[in-house]
A and B are shown apart, each in its own frame.
Chain A
Amino acid sequence: MSDTASATLSVERLSVGYPGRKVIDNLSLSPIRGGALTALVGPNAAGKTTLLRGLAGLNRAYGSIRFGGRELVGASATEHAAHVTYMPQALPQRVGLTVFEALLGALKASPHGRASSADRELALETLARLGIEQLAMRALDELSGGQRQMASLAQAIARRPSVLLLDEPTSALDLNHQLRVMKVVQAIARERGIVTILVLHDIALACRWCERIIVLSGGKVFADGSPDEAVTPKMFSGVYGVEARVEHCSRGYLQVMVDDDV
């Protein structure tokens, strides 16, 4: 799994949608490299979730999604799941499972060659890495929204995918946990050379942790590149309809100051 350090994800002429409705139409991206984080940002209903669902094989896609020499469009669900893991935006409700049981369920959902004890070790290692091993025996239903989101992230990471797609993984997290999640996800992406795409709403967070930012608007790529290239006042007015200044702080990170709507 870790020998895919150089594998990239390429998307060409990709169309994804829902029955009778095309949301992403003919979208192409330069290859997304593994080992670093890529942010997918954009206003509500821009098609971010739809794009990730297409990449994850959950929605019918047309065009080409290539990962490490394999074509994923039209690949079987099993093959897709072997490479790509998608963490949905919605968190499970009314589930009679503990955090640890749910995590084992995520690991054992599809057949693999691991022993049960190895799965338990892997589950525990993932919880420890995210710093939530104290939640292991808690019922999912009794957790706060943020804790639930951490548990959900653990399920995605534990599967050790080559392509990790996280849909708004930080939306319910406090500052400390946002930071912790970004750090852990970045470290894991580096170690295993994972292609990691995160949908984020906090542009400053994206600028701080991601080497590449893809701005999606109305199903089209509005800007794509390093934070410096993609995050500009023009982007804010064009995509969000707000007037904003973008400046480097004393540590060199991009900071966004929102002034007013245009």
Chain B
Amino acid sequence: MADSTHASFVIEDYGRLVRKRLAVLAGLCAIVLAGFMADLVTGPSQLAVADAVKGLFFPGELSAPARVIIWDVRLPQALLAVLVGAALSLAGAEMQTILNNPLASPFTLGVSSAASLGAALAIVLGIGLPGIASSWIVSGNAFVFAFGSVLLLQALSRLRGTGPETLVLFGIAMVFTFNALVALIQFVATQEALQQLVFWSMGSLARGNWEKLAVLFAAIVLVTPTAMWSAWKMTALRLGEDRARSFGVDVARLRFVSLLRVSLLAATSVAFVGTIGFVGLVGPHIARLLVGEDHRFFLPASMAAGAAVMSLSSVASKVIVPGAVMPVGIVTALIGVPFFMALIFLRRERI
């Protein structure tokens, strides 16, 4: 029936499209690598680029202070930037798909606010989880609150019949509630605690250490394969909830499991670096503009785009004010927005 010459063209065209998307993905990964290297060789301490690179592969040949700078400061921070960017952006991508809302992200639906509340309780009132080492109390609280906020979101939406709109509305309500509670705590805080809390909220990679890296890395390694496993289901969900259900996708279950992944990724990231809002929203949008919404490409591209934005932001945070490191949470938006706007305008022109 099918005209066989035309037929082979379609399959070939599709093959070309897939190769193009893989190439874009590889390009994004190259940008991440470049950003990571740039992140590694910049910093307030004067260290030659060659020394920084050499220190990475032959730590023995470096002076002790240089080794400490590379291995205990720059490398953990640079890796943390990549992992946090990837995790938050994957969380945002999944949220935007399962909630069918391009404005959904861990930041806009209250995960970051919840983490701030947890941190505020620890920093200002000294309230923490029993049995947690004091060095982890802020992170621990932030994690529990962030994770809990997504579970609360789930529970509320179950109570009142599911539906992505309801979930988004609950999320927005939580942002305001948590922010009000944080403000309340700030109101009673001492000057010193307040300063600490404000700094925490700005988001900083300086809190990176190998232990935290290992935890975040484990979370990503645990979550990413299960997300990729559901890639086709999410692609089908983009065609509409009814259609996807009729194609055999258990949408309620997909949403539930996906939100569990989101809560783990977002809570772990935010607990370690504080509030970094923009990347979870913009990473998926960059990926969507570049590779479309076949989730086999969209999910990894979101991770790479998020990692690239964070790495480049980390570099910028070190060079904007010479000799000082700005909180990366501030810089992310300052760097990400122009980049994002440029992409949108470039895309317009092509149409």
A residues contacting B by CB (< 8 A) are 19, 53, 56-58, 77-78, 80-82, 84-88, 90, 92, 94-98, 100-102, 104-106, 108-110, 120-121, 124-125, 127-129, 133-134, 136-137, 139, 152, 155, 159
Contact = CB atoms under 8 A, between A and B. Distances in A.
B2 A109 contact: no
Contacts of B243: 86-88, 92, 106, 152, 155
B2 A106 contact: no
Contacts of B49: none
A91 to B, nearest CB: 8
Contacts of A159: 247
A100 B17 CA distance: 11
Contact of A133 (B10, B238, B250): B10
A2 B323 CA distance: 74
A98 B249 CA distance: 20
B293 interface: yes
A109 B11 contact: no
B7 interface: yes
Contacts of A108: 232, 235-236
Given A97-B293, A124-B11, A109 B247 contact: yes
Contacts of A58: 242, 245-246
Contacts of B156: none
Contacts of A80: 248
Interface string B232-271: 1101101110111111111000000000000000000000
Contacts of B292: 96-98, 101, 139
Given A78-B248, A106-B247, A95 B1 contact: no
Contacts of B161: 19
Given A81-B247, A81-B248, A92 B7 contact: no
A102 B293 CA distance: 9
A133 B246 contact: no
A114 B142 CA distance: 45
Contacts, number: 126
A58 B13 CA distance: 35
B293 A95 contact: yes
A81 B246 contact: yes
Contacts of B13: 136-137
Contacts of A139: 292
Contacts of B176: none
A78 B254 CA distance: 13
A193 to B, nearest CB: 18
Given A81-B247, A92-B243, A129 B232 contact: no
Nearest to B234: A105
Contact of A128 (B1, B242, B246, B298): B1
A96 B293 contact: yes
A124 B7 contact: yes
Contacts of B233: 109
B249 A109 contact: yes
B192 interface: no
Given A81-B246, A109-B249, A128-B1, A133 B7 contact: yes
A74 to B, nearest CB: 15
B14 interface: yes
A2 to B, nearest CB: 16
Contacts of B6: 128, 133-134
B240 A133 contact: no
A39 to B, nearest CB: 20
B349 interface: no
